[in-house]
Amino acid sequence: MARKITYQQAINEALDQEMTRDESVIVMGEDVVGGSGGHGEMDAWGGVLGLTKGLYAKHGNRIMDTPITESGYIGAAVGAATCGMRPVAELMFIDFMGVCLDQIYNQAAKFRYMFGGKAKTPVVIRAMYGAGFSAAAQHSQALYSIFTHIPGLKVVLPSSPYDAKGLLIQAIRDDDPVIFLEHKVLYTLEGEVPEEPYTVPFGEANVVREGDDVTIVAFGRMVLHATGVADKLAKEGIKCEVIDPRTTSPLDDESILESIENTGRLVVVDESNPRCSMASDIAELAVTRAFEHLKAPVKTVTAPHTPVPFAKSLEDAYIPSPEKIEAAIRSIA
Amino acid sequence: MARKITYQQAINEALDQEMTRDESVIVMGEDVVGGSGGHGEMDAWGGVLGLTKGLYAKHGNRIMDTPITESGYIGAAVGAATCGMRPVAELMFIDFMGVCLDQIYNQAAKFRYMFGGKAKTPVVIRAMYGAGFSAAAQHSQALYSIFTHIPGLKVVLPSSPYDAKGLLIQAIRDDDPVIFLEHKVLYTLEGEVPEEPYTVPFGEANVVREGDDVTIVAFGRMVLHATGVADKLAKEGIKCEVIDPRTTSPLDDESILESIENTGRLVVVDESNPRCSMASDIAELAVTRAFEHLKAPVKTVTAPHTPVPFAKSLEDAYIPSPEKIEAAIRSIA
Amino acid sequence: MSELSKEKLLEAYRMMRTIRDFEERVHDEFAKGGIPGFVHLYAGEEASATGICMHLTDQDRIVSTHRGHGHCIAKGVDVIGMMAEIYGKQTGTCHGKGGSMHIADLDKGMLGANGIVGGGPPLICGVGLTHKMRGTDGVGIAFFGDGASNQGTTLESMNLATVWNLPCIFVVENNGYAEATSSEWAVSCDNYADRAAGFGMPGTTVDGHDFFAVYETAGEAIARARAGGGPSLVEVKLNRYFGHFEGDAQTYRRADEVKQLREEKDCLKIFRKRVVDANLLEHSDLDKIDEEVAALIDEAVQQAEAASPPAVEELLTHVYVNY
Amino acid sequence: MSELSKEKLLEAYRMMRTIRDFEERVHDEFAKGGIPGFVHLYAGEEASATGICMHLTDQDRIVSTHRGHGHCIAKGVDVIGMMAEIYGKQTGTCHGKGGSMHIADLDKGMLGANGIVGGGPPLICGVGLTHKMRGTDGVGIAFFGDGASNQGTTLESMNLATVWNLPCIFVVENNGYAEATSSEWAVSCDNYADRAAGFGMPGTTVDGHDFFAVYETAGEAIARARAGGGPSLVEVKLNRYFGHFEGDAQTYRRADEVKQLREEKDCLKIFRKRVVDANLLEHSDLDKIDEEVAALIDEAVQQAEAASPPAVEELLTHVYVNY
Ligand SMILES: Cc1ncc(C[n+]2csc(CCOP(=O)(O)OP(=O)(O)O)c2C)c(N)n1
Ligand SMILES: Cc1ncc(C[n+]2csc(CCOP(=O)(O)OP(=O)(O)O)c2C)c(N)n1
Ligand SMILES: [Mg+2]
Ligand SMILES: [Mg+2]
C-alpha cells in the first residue's frame, strides 16, 4: 500500500475504475469534459479544477458536458438513475444547490418512499464545499447539515485520499441517492491509496486516534485539524479520541456513543454554520443517549452564524482553527 | 381584547393593515389575487386557501398574481426589497423552496454581508408548512431547520392567532429577510386578537405555561400539543414550563437556559425531521450552556427520519403526538 | 383515423372512458368525504393522455403532474391499485404512501405524478438519455401544464434535450388555467410554437378534444424521436371539467363555461360520433365498453373502501433500500 | 455616432479604457500572486457595459455576473474602492467582505456582481417592478452570459418581465464560451432573437466590439422600457481576451484565437479609428485619457496594496441590520 496520490487523483481514479467496471456508470456536469463545441481541445478542462481530466479520453461519451442548467441535468441524472443507470453528476460547488435542490430533495430523496418501495435511485451528486480558497460567500459553504436533515439522502464527507476513493466507489455502487462532498482544500492532500478498487462502507466511523480523555468528533477537513491538535495534546498526556464519521447520513452513532461512554467528554468540530448543524446533531446524540456518562459540558467548535467572508483575515477567523479546537478541549479536559 | 378571529384571518388582517399603513408594502404570489386574465372574477381565489381574499379589492395592483416561476418572483421580491419596497412574497407551500432557494439563501440572506453593510433587504417570504392534511411528501414538510441554519435569515413560526398577526407585522417592518411559516393545521384556530396593529418582537420567547419540573420547548403547532400535555400533567402535580420561542432565528436562548436552570429537565418537541433539526439545536444549547443544571437526559420528540407519508394511519404516526410528548416527559420527570 | 385497427379504436375508447369514469367517480367520492388530501382531476382531457400513450410501450416512460390519474391509466397502471392508493390503502399502487399526487409504476413506464410544478421535465431528460445511451428506440414523454410551461426547470430541460439531442417529447397540456390564473395572462408567448423555436425544436399545436389529431401529431413527434431526430414540443389545447382541485368553486371561469364545454368539447362524444359516422365501430361496441368500465370503477371503489390502511410499521420502510 | 457630444465620446472612451486597464492590471497582479480568490476579467467586452450604461442614471439599476468589474466601472463604482475590494481590504467597496464576485454599490445603481450564474435576472424583475409601481421612468438591466442564458432562473424571469410588463432589459453578453464550453453547442437556438420571441419580447443582436452599435441598440430598448413598452432582449456578440478565470490555459480555444481578436476585434481601437476618422476627436484627446487612466489604475493598485485588511471584528458585522 505504498503508493501515494492526492485526494483529487483518488476521486478521478474511483470514477475511472467504476466507469470501466460498469457500463451504466456515467458522469455529467458543467465542463467535466470541458471543451464541447469549441475549436480547441475537446477535453481541455476535465472539470473546473481538472479533477475529471482523462476520463473523456478513456470513456468517450459516457462523460458529458452540460449547459448551465443544474435543475435540468441533476434532474436528468436522477431520472436516468430510476432507469437503471448509475449517474455521477457534478454540481461543481455545493453552494449552487439552491438552483436545483428540488430535484435532489423532493424527487431523488423521496421517490422510493412515495412510490411505496417501487423505485431505486442510485445517483451520486459530487460537489466541492468548504472555505479556505478566498472564494467568498457563494463558493465556500459547508452545507452538509442541510442534506443530512433530509430523509432519503446519504451524505458523505471524505477526509483523506484513501476514504475519498473507497467512499466514492461505495457511493456509485450504492442504490440510494448520495451527496458526495469534497473539501476543496483537501484536493492536494496526499495519502496512501491502493491501486485496485475497494469500498469504504457507509455508516462506519473511522477512529483516527484512540484516547480515553476526550472524544473529538470532526467532519471532513476538520478531521485533519482535530488530529493535529490531538497529537499535540497527546504529548502533554491529554489523550483524545478523534472520530471521523465519514458519512453524516447514515451516522455511526454507536461508535460515537461508545467513545463518549469511555471519555465522558465531547468536542464536536464542524466547519458549517452553527444552528441546526452537525455540531448540534452530535451534541444532541450525547445528551439524549449518553447523558449519564457526560462529565463536562459538550463543546462545539464551528464557523460563526455569518456568511463566509472574502478577505483572508476574516476567512481565517471564520474557519474553526486548531487553536480554537485546542482551547475547547482544554476547557473540559 | 375580546374579539376572536382565526389564525388565517389574523394573517390577512396583518397584511391589510400594513398595506394600508405603508405604500411600499406589496404582496405577490401564485393566485394571491387568483383570477388574473380569466373570464370570471379577478380575485376569485385570494390565495390557494383564501387567505389573501379581499386584499385586491382594497389595495388593487399592490397585490399581484405571478406566473408559476418561484425563482423569478421570489427573486423579484428580493430585488424590489433592495430598492426600498417591502414585498411579502407567498411561496404557497414551503416544500416548493427547492425551486427558488438560491434567491433566498445566496441572494437575500447574504447581500448585506457580502456588500459590506451596503444593502437592506426587507423581504418577507410567507409559506405554509407542516403535516396533518394528508398532503403527502411534497406538501407537508416542516423545513424551518434548514432556514434556521442559514445566516442572514430570520425564521418565524407563529403558534397562535395573536402571534401570527403581531409577528407578521414585525416581519414586514423588519429590515432583514424573514421566512414566515404558517402551520396549515392552525389556519382555523381561533384566538383573541386586537383589532389595532401591534408587533410581537423577534427573539422573545413566549412562556406559555410556567412550571418548575420540566422545561418543554416546542415549535409552531407543537406548542398546542405541548400545552395540552402540560395541562394534563399539571393535574397530577407534574409542573411543566412550556416555552414557545416564536422565532427560531433569532432564538431567545436566554429564556430557554433560564428555564432549564430552574427545572434541570428538558423535552424538545419539533415536527421536523430529527437530524440537524431544531430539536438538535435546543438539545445542544442545553448541553453546551446549561450542562451543570441538567438532571436527566434531554428528550426530543420529533418526526422520524422519513418523508411524510400520505395515508392517515401513517401520517398520524409521523406527527409528534401528545402521547409521545407525555411519555417523554414522564420518562424524565 | 383509418390507420387504426378496430381493436386499437376500441382500446382508445376504453382508455378514455376509464379515465372519465375514474375521475367522475373520484369527484363524487371526494364530495362524500371518503378521499383525503388534495385531488386534481383530469376529466375533459382524456384524449391527450390517450392519444399520446397509445404510441408507447412499457419501455417508454412518462412523467406526469399533480393532475396525473389520466396519464397513469393511459400508461397502463392498474386502476384497482390506483383507486386504493387515492384512498390511502395498503393495497394501493404505492401502498398508500404516495396518494393521488405521487402514483408511480416504473414497470409500466410511469415515473410518477409529481407534486412539484415543473418537477417532471428534468427527469424526462434522464429517461431520454438512458434510451440514447443504451441505443434503444425508447422515448420519454413529459406531460406538463400551461402553468408549468413557465417554470425554469421546464424551460432549461427543453434546452438540455436539444443540446443532448434526446428522444423526449414535451407535451404542454394547455387547459387555459394554472389554478385560477389564465394561461393567456401568464404565458408570455401567443403560441407555444414560438417557445419551441427558441429551444431549437419543432413545436405543434393540436386540438386536445380530438383524439385523432392528438394521436397523429404525437405519432410524428414520437417517430422522429425514436429515429434519433431529437425532441419536440406538442401543445395540446384542452379543458378540464372540474376545478383546479376538488373543492374549487371556479368563480374565475365564466358561469356556464364548463357546461358548454361538456356539451361541445367532450372528447368521448366527439370520438364516438366520428367512428360511428365513419362506420368503423357501432354504438353497441362502445356501449359495451361503457358498461364494463362502469363495473370496473365500481369494483375499484369497493375494493379500495374495503382495504386496510397501511400498518404503522410501514412508516419506517422504503426510506432507503435497506429499510 | 453623430448624436453623441464630444464630451460623451470622451466619457465613453474613458470608461472603456478604464475597464481595459483595470482588467489588464488585475491580470498582472493576479499572476504575481497579490490577489486572492477567483477572478474573472472583462477585457475585450468593454463596449457592451459602456454602450449600455452610458444611457443610465443612478436610479437605473443593473445586476451583473461573476465577470462584473466592467459593469461596475461603467455604472460609476469607484475604481479605487473596487481595486481595494479585489485585494480584500477594509477600504474596499464592500470592506473586503465580498471580493471580486460580489462588488456592489446600491447608491450607484449597481446591485451586485453575482457568484451564481443566473442569479441576477430574477432580481432585476424586482428593480423593474419598483420603478413601475413608483411611476418613475427608471429601468433595470440584467447583464448575463451565453451560459447563463440557459439557466431556468433567467428564462423564467423573461416570462415574468413580459407578463408584468416590466421596464427591464435582458442583455446576453455572448462571448462564445461558458467556462470551456462553446455557446454554439450549449445554446439550443441559432439566434437569441428566437428565444426572445418565445417570451413575447423584441430581441436584437448587436456587434459588441462596436460601441456605437451597442449604444444605439440599447438606447432603443431602454427608451421603449422607459416609455412603458416593456422588456427586451439584446444579444451582444463579443469576446473575452483572458481565460474564463485567472489561471485558465484556454486550450479549448484555437491557439491564435485571442491574438487575432486583440488585433481585429478591439473595441478601443475600433472606437479610436471611427472617431478620429470622422474628425470627432483627435488622437491627442484620447492619448491624454490613456495617460490619466494609467495613473488612476496605478494609484488604485498602490492604495489597495497599502490598505489594511479588515479587522477580525468585522467577521461578525453586517449579518443583520442590528449586527
Ligand atoms: C413548484 C410548485 N409551485 C406551485 C405549486 C402549486 N400548484 C399546484 S398545481 C398548480 C397549477 C398548475 O397549472 P398547470 O401547470 O397549468 O397544470 P393544471 O393544473 O392546469 O393541469 C400550482 C400553482 C406546486 N405544486 N409546485
Ligand atoms: C449556478 C451556477 N452554476 C455554475 C457556476 C460556475 N460558473 C461560473 S461562471 C460559469 C460560466 C458562465 O458562462 P457565461 O454565462 O457565458 O458567462 P461568461 O463567463 O462567459 O462571462 C460557470 C459555469 C456558477 N457560478 N453558478
Ligand atoms: Mg393548466
Ligand atoms: Mg460566456
Q: How far is the CA of D174 from the centre of ligand 4 (A)?
A: 5
Measure the N-to-C terminal CA separation of chain C; round to a whole number of Å.
Answer: 50
**Nearest ligand for residue D176 CA:** 4
CB D125 within 8 A of CB B81: no
Degrees (nearest 5) of the Cα angle B36, B40, B43? 50
Among C312, B31, D307, C119, smallest CA distance to A311 is for: D307
**Nearest ligand for residue C101 CA:** 1
C117 CB within 6 A, ligand 1: yes
The C-alpha atoms of residue B121 and residue B111 are separated, in whole angstroms, by: 8
Tell me, yes or no, if A139 is annotated catalytic: yes
Computed from CA positions of residues B259, B264, B265, B266, in that sequence, does the dihedral angle turn out positive or negative?
A: positive
Run means of pLDDT, 10 residues per run, chain C, 323 residues: 88 98 98 96 98 98 98 98 98 98 98 98 98 98 98 98 98 98 96 94 98 98 98 98 96 95 97 97 97 98 98 98 94
The C-alpha atoms of residue C304 and residue C35 are separated, in whole angstroms, by: 10
The C-alpha atoms of residue A3 and residue A1 are separated, in whole angstroms, by: 6
Beta strands in C113-222 (DSSP E): 140-145, 168-174, 177-178, 181-182, 203-207
Q: Is residue D35 a part of any domain in this protein?
A: yes
Q: Is residue C318 a part of any domain in this protein?
A: no
Q: Does C178 touch chain D (CB under 8 A)?
A: no
**C-alpha dist (Å) from residue D194 to C160, D48, D159:** 16, 21, 14
Q: What's the CATH code of the domain at C78? A: 3.40.50.970
CA A175 to chain centroid: 18
What's the structural domain count of chain C? 1
In chain C, the residue whose alpha carbon lies closest to the alpha carbon of D190 is: C200
pLDDT tens digit sequence for D127-151: 999 999 999 999 999 999 999 999 9
Q: Is residue D322 a part of any domain in this protein?
A: no
Q: What pLDDT score was predicted for residue C3?
A: 84
Among A49, A176, A165, smallest CA distance to A125 is for: A176
The C-alpha atoms of residue A117 and residue C321 are separated, in whole angstroms, by: 8
Which helix (H) or strand (E) is D23 found in, with range? Answer: helix D6-32
Q: What ipTM, to 2 d.p.?
A: 0.98
SS3 A73: helix
Which domains occur in chain A, in start order? 4-192 (3.40.50.970), 206-332 (3.40.50.920)
Question: Which amino acid does the sequence have at C298?
Answer: D
pTM over 0.80: yes
Stretch D263-279: mean pLDDT: 97
CB B255 within 8 A of CB B207: yes
Q: Is residue C322 a part of any domain in this protein?
A: no
In chain A, the residue whose alpha carbon lies closest to the alpha carbon of B97 is: A102
Q: Does A57 touch chain D (CB under 8 A)?
A: no
Computed from CA positions of residues B114, B119, B120, B121, in that sequence, does the dihedral angle turn out positive or negative?
A: negative
Take residue B250 and report the three cell numbers written for it.
Answer: 433569532
* Count of C-beta atoms within a 10 Å radius of residue D228: 10
Indicate whether D161 pLDDT > 90: yes
Nearest atom, ligand 1, residue C40 CA = 19
Q: What is the DSSP string of D41-106?
A: --TT-HHHHHHHHTT--TTSEEE--SS-HHHHHHTT--HHHHHHHHHT-TTSTTTTSS-GGG--BG
CB B34 within 8 A of CB C181: yes
Take residue D73 and report the three cell numbers written for it.
Answer: 466601472
Burial class (CB in 10 A: 0-12, 13-18, 19+), C48: buried
Residues 55-84 of chain D whose Cβ lies under 8 A from any Cβ of chain C? none
Q: Is residue C14 a part of any domain in this protein?
A: yes
Q: Is residue D247 a part of any domain in this protein?
A: yes
User: Which chains are within 8 Å of A by 3+ CB pairs?
Assistant: B, C, D
The C-alpha atoms of residue A135 and residue D120 are separated, in whole angstroms, by: 19
Buried b (16+ CB within 10 A) or exposed e, B10-23: bbbbbbbbbbeeee
Indicate whether B1 pLDDT > 80: no
* CB-based contacts of D306, cutoff 8 Å, min separation 6: none
In chain B, the residue whose alpha carbon lies closest to the alpha carbon of D99 is: B114
pLDDT band at D244 (very low <50, low <70, confident <90, very high): very high
Please provide residue B238's backbone torsions phi and psi, each rounded to the nearest 5 degrees. Answer: -90, 115
Domain span at C245: 6-306
DSSP state of D110: B
Q: Which residue has the higher pLDDT, C191 or B154?
A: B154
CB C71 within 8 A of CB C64: yes
Q: Which of C150, C188, C201, C205 to mutate to test the interface with D (most CBs of D within 10 A)?
A: C188
Q: Would the CB atoms of C185 and D163 count as touching at under 8 Å?
A: yes
Residue with cell 464557523: A303
Q: Which of A272, A275, A278, A314 to mutate to test the interface with B (most CBs of B within 10 A)?
A: A275
Write down the catalytic residue from A139, A225, A293, A305.
A139
Nearest CA to ligand 1 atom 20: C178
CB D162 within 8 A of CB D231: yes
C147 CB within 6 A, ligand 1: yes
Residue with cell 396533518: B132
Mean of pLDDT over chain D: 97
* CB-based contacts of A9, cutoff 8 Å, min separation 6: A161, A193
pLDDT band at D3 (very low <50, low <70, confident <90, very high): confident
Indicate whether B2 pLDDT > 90: no
Q: Smallest CA–CA separation between A73 and chain C, in Å?
A: 7
Spatial strand order of the sheet with A154-156 comes to: A63-65, A25-29, A86-93, A124-129, A178-183, A154-156, A247-249
Degrees (nearest 5) of the Cα angle C172, C177, C182? 115
- What percent of chain D lies above the pLDDT cut of 90? 98
Q: What pLDDT score was predicted for residue C2?
A: 60
Q: Would the CB atoms of B297 and A287 count as touching at under 8 Å?
A: yes
Among A100, A180, A93, smallest CA distance to A131 is for: A93
pLDDT tens digit sequence for B60-88: 999 999 999 999 999 999 999 999 999 99
Mean of pLDDT over chain C: 97
Q: What pLDDT score was predicted for residue D1?
A: 62
Spatial strand order of the sheet with B240-244 comes to: B206-209, B240-244, B214-218, B266-270, B299-302
D117 CB within 6 A, ligand 2: yes
Helix intervals (H) in chain A:
7-21, 55-59, 70-82, 101-102, 111-114, 144-149, 161-173, 222-234, 253-263, 278-289, 312-318, 322-332
Burial class (CB in 10 A: 0-12, 13-18, 19+), C306: exposed
CB B181 within 8 A of CB B128: yes
Q: Would the CB atoms of A80 and C130 count as touching at under 8 Å?
A: yes
The C-alpha atoms of residue B332 and residue B274 are separated, in whole angstroms, by: 20
Q: Smallest CA–CA separation between B100 and chain A, in Å?
A: 6
Q: Smallest CA–CA separation between A35 and chain D, in Å?
A: 5
Take residue C243 and report the three cell numbers written for it.
Answer: 376545478
Q: What pLDDT score was predicted for residue A2?
A: 79
Q: Does B77 touch chain D (CB under 8 A)?
A: yes
Tens digit of pLDDT at every position of chain A (333 positions)? 579 999 999 999 999 999 999 999 999 999 999 999 999 999 999 999 999 999 999 999 999 999 999 999 999 999 999 999 999 999 999 999 999 999 999 999 999 999 999 999 999 999 999 999 999 999 999 999 999 999 999 999 999 999 999 999 999 999 999 999 999 999 999 999 999 999 999 999 999 999 999 999 999 999 999 999 999 999 999 999 999 999 999 999 999 999 999 999 999 999 999 999 999 999 999 999 999 999 999 999 999 999 999 999 999 999 999 999 999 999 999
* Count of C-beta atoms within a 10 Å radius of residue C308: 12
The C-alpha atoms of residue A165 and residue C83 are separated, in whole angstroms, by: 47
Residue with cell 422588456: D231
Beta strands in D179-320 (DSSP E): 181-182, 203-207, 232-237
Q: What pLDDT score was predicted for residue C235?
A: 98
Q: Smallest CA–CA separation between B195 and chain C, in Å?
A: 30
A68 CB within 6 A, ligand 2: yes
pLDDT tens digit sequence for C271-297: 999 999 999 999 999 999 999 999 999
Write down the catalytic residue from B59, B139, B183, B225.
B139
**C-alpha dist (Å) from residue D147 to A77, B75, D143, D202, D223:** 20, 19, 12, 20, 27
Q: Is residue D145 a part of any domain in this protein?
A: yes
Among C198, C171, A182, smallest CA distance to D154 is for: C198
The C-alpha atoms of residue A221 and residue A160 are separated, in whole angstroms, by: 9
The C-alpha atoms of residue C177 and residue C183 are separated, in whole angstroms, by: 5
